[in-house]
Structure 1
Amino acid sequence: MSRLSRRTVVPALLVLVIVAGIGLSFFQPWKAFTDTTVNEALPTASQSMAGQEMKGKNGMKSGEPSAKDMGPREVAEGNFVSHEHGTSGMARTVRLADGGQVLRLEDLKTSEGPDVRVYLSPRGADAVKAGLGDGAVQLGKLKGNRGNQNYSVPAGTDLSKFRSAVIWCERFSVSFGAADLAPAKG
């Protein structure tokens, strides 16, 4: 009888260990108890612009900077609202002096997750609970669940077509939180 029990128990334990390993790797529950803080400065211009002198039409140095040389300009902003996880902070879209664009997350506080990404969505913050919508643009993996961070927006992207910035979990297809992007004042 003890031999029969051992033949039953050992395979059952082996299956339990395998299922537990798969579950742990999929859900990554330890991330509920960890934080990653990122504090990046707002970029001012691409490296290709660094060190170049401003020149006028005649090739001489110009005393007047062009609009392109004035520095970063805020395009839109909004505060995060929570969806599946508590999320707070601000999202800002910024046009850089060299024409590049970034999504900047400031004072972000959210949960870590197994596969969390940052998106721009054509849907409003409340509507992304049901999905990102056609035409959403992924900007990359979330660098940290706390702090200030920048995400490059692909060249040629028309920011006016996007209504929200979204912290999205790819693995479970849920929004941790989103921010409606309203035109910046000033």
Structure 2
Amino acid sequence: MRRKRGIWLAVGGVLLVVAVVGAFVFQPWLLFIDDKVDEGDDASEVVGTAQGGLTDTTVPEASGEQKTRVVLASAEFIDAEHGTSGTATIFRRSDGSRFLRLQDLDTSNGPDLHVWITDRRSGGDCEGCFGSWGIYDDGDYVKLGALKGNQGNQSYEIPDGADLAGMKSVVIWCDKFNVAFGTADIT
């Protein structure tokens, strides 16, 4: 009788350890908690769309004291491993700096989420086959930082030396599980 009780206590202890470790790794509570952010848009005025897309180096002229900006690329998010919607727009300001604006973003919350610009096409690989959402760290990418919130409006500065030639998509990337939550085609 004592032996059975000892076995059940040992099994129970192992299950408890597995549950605690699983909760730490997967952080399932994030699926039920939305992190909303509403950053104001850049103060510069949008004066047009660059003809050369991401590689366009034309810098819009400032209008007196008022900085201006042009759109280099813009696209709607599509679902990857999680339902994702909103708009990703890349701008160049009159001072030559660039930034990414996520507008009306709505995706699942999760552990270790980041914003990247990548050389992989939006929509995964092989039309959604198994593993198609894990390709975005296989090539070139520019890391813009941790996702500020899974819902709302937010901006990310693009590093001055970042080469956007050949970049094809904006990705909400989960580093912990190496998978895209959502992607936007910026080609």
Partner of 1:175: 180
Correspondence for 2:148 among 113, 120, 143: 143
Secondary structure of the equivalent of 1:73?
strand
What is the TM-score with the length of structure 2 in the denominator? 0.79
Q: What do you get for the CA RMSD once the two structures are aligned? A: 1.8
Secondary structure of the equivalent of 1:79?
strand
Partner of 1:89: 86
**Once the two structures are superposed, what CA deviation does each residue of 1:68-112 show, in whole Å capped at 9, x if it has no partner?**
564232211000010111000000001123222111100001000
**Once the two structures are superposed, what CA deviation does each residue of 1:5-51 show, in whole Å capped at 9, x if it has no partner?**
22212222111111100000111111111111111112347xxxxxx
Secondary structure of the equivalent of 1:126?
coil
- Structure 2 unaligned spans of 5+: 45-59, 126-132
Partner of 2:168: 163
Partner of 1:55: none
Is the 8 Å Cα contact of residues 84 and 174 (structure 1) preserved in structure 2?
yes
Partner of 2:12: 13
Partner of 1:40: 39
Is the 8 Å Cα contact of residues 88 and 107 (structure 1) preserved in structure 2?
yes
Is the 8 Å Cα contact of residues 115 and 146 (structure 2) preserved in structure 1?
yes
C-alpha deviation, 1:130, in angstroms: 4.7
Q: How does 1:19-98 map to 2 (within 5 A)?
A: 19-44=18-43, 67-68=61-62, 70-98=67-95
Q: Distance in 2 between matches of 1:104 and 1:152?
A: 9
What is the TM-score with the length of structure 1 in the denominator? 0.79
Secondary structure of the equivalent of 1:179?
strand
- Structure 1 unaligned spans of 5+: 46-65
Q: Distance in 1 between matches of 2:23 and 2:153?
A: 29
After TM superposition, which residue ranges in structure 1, 4 or more long, deviate above 3 angstroms?
none
Is the 8 Å Cα contact of residues 80 and 124 (structure 2) preserved in structure 1?
no
Question: Which stretch has the larger CA shift, 102-111 or 70-79?
Answer: 70-79
C-alpha deviation, 1:147, in angstroms: 0.4
